[in-house]
Amino acid sequence: MTTIRSHKGITPALGERVWVDPSAVVIGDVVLGDDCSVWPMTTIRGDMHHIRIGQRCSLQDGSVLHITHASDFNPGGWPLVLGDDVTVGHKALLHGCTLGSRILVGMGAIIMDGAIVEDEVIIAAGCLVPPGKRLESGHLYVGSPCKKARPLTDKERSFFTYTAANYARLKDTYLVESETH
Question: 4-68+76-180, what's its fold?
Answer: UDP N-Acetylglucosamine Acyltransferase; domain 1 (2.160.10)
Predicted confidence at residue 179, as pLDDT, reads 84
pLDDT at 178 over 90: no
Of residues 181 and 54, more confidence is placed in: 54
pLDDT at 1 over 80: no
Domain segments of the chain: what residues? Answer: 4-68+76-180
pLDDT at 45 over 80: yes
Average pLDDT, the chain: 97
Show the beta-strand stretches assigned E in 18-164: 19-20, 25-32, 37-38, 43-53, 58-59, 64-66, 80-82, 86-88, 93-95, 98-99, 103-105, 110-111, 116-117, 121-123, 128-129, 134-135, 139-142, 147-151
What lies within 8 Å, CB to CB, of 100 at 6+ separation is 83, 117, 118, 119, 120, 121, 137
Percent of the chain with pLDDT over 90: 97
What pLDDT digit, counting tens, does each position of 65-113 carry?
A: 999 999 999 999 999 999 999 999 999 999 999 999 999 999 999 999 9
